[in-house]
């Protein structure tokens, strides 16, 4: 018997018992569909996460310099003791322009924002079950330098950016993110308008272009920001600035800059009163990738159980098939059929069962990826060609593995005993 004849006989056997064949393939279908959906959805999640990191800026280094010691100011508030390290850090970063393109403080300002009848204290917001924000979240207000946009990949779409003179002259100006601009001014041009921040007037001089657009912006607050010159702290108050962002020229320079800044701060900060922490942002990306890899392995292992159950089902039905076709096997063995041809016939049938189940599972998995991608990430996700080919190849391999025992058992039947079977 040649391969072509074996394939025809296997197909005839599968089609002859459609219901039984479909139930047998069910475990393989569910397993393949689950594995494909999990792999593709995790890939989509990784892509979405990397998009968020990219939107926030690449080659960034977060620097924190903090104090263990606090003192009481003239208003009775406890504030960090010791010197302000920003001037020293700024001067040091300016001294190595071959590695660094920008540095900025990033200190949160706890202020109330008012424009006309709109007051950030009255904004109401929540997250729905799909992870999208409903209502309006109060904007995040930060004290920054004129290099904040450089460090965070921000571009001006209206007006101008913060300038060095705004810092030096203590100008009461601000720049809005696209979501903050829409929240307070709707479709009107905010440039030239005046916001009240804790009762102090700040003129809007610019608006940044959105970093995340379309439906993806519904679940993001990255553009819901108001940026103030860090010298505005003299009016609005706040603790000493301890958090900074340094922008390296490229990925290679990031490690060098982080190492240099660690060494600089080690000699600057007294370990008895404070400490410093320097972290390239790509560490968060690496950590996220590691976590997603572990989650994928766990979920993939759970889905693989379905494939194991499906394989056992294939073995079981092939043993039943051997019993049903015992006389046929005896006749073929009696007229001279080799054991290898019997093995080949049953292996092909098992591989075809799993292969067909794999194709159906791939179709269902592709649909699952499409639905999950649009619901979870607002993006279209399809399995890659390598994942699809791997799923099909694995399903066929599964049939060969679990079909081996029934095939070998069939080939070992003695012709006389097989011919006696009813």
Confidence of residue 6 (pLDDT cuts 50, 70, 90): confident
pLDDT value at 201 more than 90: yes
Looking at the structure of the chain, the number of domains it has is: 3
How large is the average pLDDT for residues 209-217? Answer: 70
Q: Are residues 212 and 95 in the same domain?
A: no
413 — pLDDT class (breaks 50, 70, 90): confident
pLDDT > 60? residue 297: yes
Q: Is 124 a residue whose pLDDT tops 70?
A: yes
Residue 243 lies in a domain: no
- Mean pLDDT score of the chain: 84
More confident residue, 111 or 421: 111
pLDDT for residue 216: 53
Q: Tell me what the mean pLDDT of segment 357-382 comes to.
A: 86
- Predicted confidence (pLDDT) at residue 73 exceeds the cutoff of 70: no
Question: Confidence band (pLDDT; 50, 70, 90) for 195?
Answer: very high
| Between residues 336 and 188, the one the model is more confident about | 188
Instruction: Please report which confidence band the pLDDT of residue 111 belongs to, taking 50, 70 and 90 as the band edges.
Output: very high
- 221, part of any domain: yes
Residues 384 and 341 in one domain: yes
**The pLDDT value given to residue 141:** 95
One domain for residues 86 and 127: no
198 and 271, same domain (yes or no): no
Residue 246, pLDDT score = 94
Mean pLDDT of 266-280: 86
Residue 82 covered by a domain = yes
Mean of pLDDT values over 128-145 = 81
Query: Is 16 found in the same domain as 43?
Result: yes
Residue 190: the pLDDT is: 96
For residue 334, is it within any domain?
A: yes
The residue among 133 and 62 whose pLDDT is bigger is: 62
Q: Residue range 111-119: average pLDDT?
A: 94
Residues 231 and 114 in one domain: yes
In a domain, 54, yes or no: no
The pLDDT value given to residue 410: 85
More confident residue, 107 or 68: 107
What range does the domain containing 31 cover? 3-49+287-420
Does 273 share its domain with 300? no
SS (H, E, C) the chain: CCHHHHHHHHHHHHHHCHHHHHHHHHHHHHHHHHHHHHHHHHHHHHHHHHHHHHHHCCCEEEEEEEECCEEECCCCCEEECCCCCHHHHHHHHHCCCCCEEEEEECEECCCCEEECCEEHHHCCEEECCCCCEEECCCCEEEEECCCHHHHCCCCEEEECCCCHHHHHCCCCEEEECHHHHHHHHCCCCCCCCEEEECCEEEEEEEEECCCCCHHHHHHCCCCCEEEEEHHHHHHHCCCCCCEEEEEECCHHHHHHHHHHHHHHHHHHCCCCCEEEEEEECHHHHHHHHHHHHHHHHHHHHHHHHHHHHHHHHHHHHHHHHHHHCHHHHHHHHHCCCCHHHHHHHHHHHHHHHHHHHHHHHHHHHHHHHHHHHHHHHCCCCCCCHHHHHHHHHHHHHHHHHHHHHHHHHHHCCCHHHHHHCC
In a domain, 70, yes or no: yes
Instruction: Report strand pairing: 113-115 vs 118-119.
Output: antiparallel
Domain C-terminal end among 237, 264, 299: 237
Rounded Cα distance, 404 and 394, in Å:
15
Same domain, 12 and 126: no
Please state, in angstroms and rounded to a whole number, the distance separating the CA atoms of residues 406 and 330: 15
Q: Looking at mean pLDDT, say which of 4-8, 61-65, 172-176, 307-311 comes out highest.
A: 172-176
In terms of average pLDDT, the best of 66-80, 99-113, 403-417 is 99-113
Q: Which of 7-21, 37-51, 302-316, 338-352 has the lowest mean pLDDT?
A: 37-51
Confidence of residue 274 (pLDDT cuts 50, 70, 90): confident
Does position 97 have pLDDT exceeding 80, yes or no? Answer: yes
Q: Tell me which of 273 and 403 has the higher pLDDT.
A: 403
On whether the CB atoms of residues 352 and 11 are closer than 8 A, the answer is yes
């Amino acid at each position: 018997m040649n391969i072509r004849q074996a394939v025809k006989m296997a197909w005839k056997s599968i089609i002859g018992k459609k219901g039984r064949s479909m139930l047998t393939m069910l475990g393989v279908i569910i397993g393949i569909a689950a594995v494909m959906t999990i792999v593709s959805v995790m890939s989509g999640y990784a892509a979405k996460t990397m998009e968020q990191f990219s939107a926030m800026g690449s080659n960034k280094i977060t620097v924190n310099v903090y104090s263990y010691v606090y003192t009481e100011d003239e208003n009775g508030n406890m504030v960090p003791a010791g010197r302000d390290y920003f001037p020293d850090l700024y001067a040091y970063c300016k001294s190595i322009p071959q590695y660094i393109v920008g540095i900025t403080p990033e200190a949160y300002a706890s202020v109330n924002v008012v424009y006309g009848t709109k007051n950030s204290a009255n904004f109401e917001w929540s997250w729905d079950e799909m992870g999208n924000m409903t209502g309006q979240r109060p904007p995040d207000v930060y004290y920054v330098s004129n290099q904040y946009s450089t460090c965070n990949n921000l571009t001006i779409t209206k007006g101008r950016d913060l300038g060095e003179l705004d810092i030096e002259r203590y100008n009461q100006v601000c720049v809005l993110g696209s979501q903050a601009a829409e929240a307070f001014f709707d479709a009107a041009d905010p440039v030239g308008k005046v916001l009240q921040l804790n009762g102090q007037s700040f003129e809007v001089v610019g608006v940044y272009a959105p970093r995340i657009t379309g439906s993806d912006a519904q679940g993001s607050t990255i553009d819901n920001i108001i940026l103030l010159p860090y010298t505005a702290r003299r009016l609005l108050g706040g603790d000493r600035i301890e958090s900074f962002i340094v922008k390296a020229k490229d990925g290679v320079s990031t490690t060098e800059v982080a190492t240099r800044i660690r060494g600089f701060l080690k000699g600057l900060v007294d370990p008895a009163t404070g400490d410093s922490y320097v972290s390239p942002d790509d560490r968060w990306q690496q950590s996220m990738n590691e976590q997603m890899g572990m989650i994928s392995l766990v979920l993939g292992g759970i889905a693989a159980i379905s494939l194991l159950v499906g394989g056992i089902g294939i073995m079981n039905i092939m043993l039943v098939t051997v019993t049903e076709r015992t006389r046929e096997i005896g006749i073929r063995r009696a007229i001279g059929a080799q054991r290898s041809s019997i093995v080949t016939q049953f292996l092909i049938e098992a591989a075809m069962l799993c292969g067909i189940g794999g194709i159906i599972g791939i179709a269902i998995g592709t649909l699952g990826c499409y639905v999950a991608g649009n619901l979870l990430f607002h993006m279209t996700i399809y399995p890659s060609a390598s994942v699809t080919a791997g799923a099909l190849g694995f399903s066929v391999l599964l049939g060969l593995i679990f079909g081996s025992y029934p095939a070998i058992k069939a080939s070992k039947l003695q012709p006389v005993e097989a011919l006696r079977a009813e």
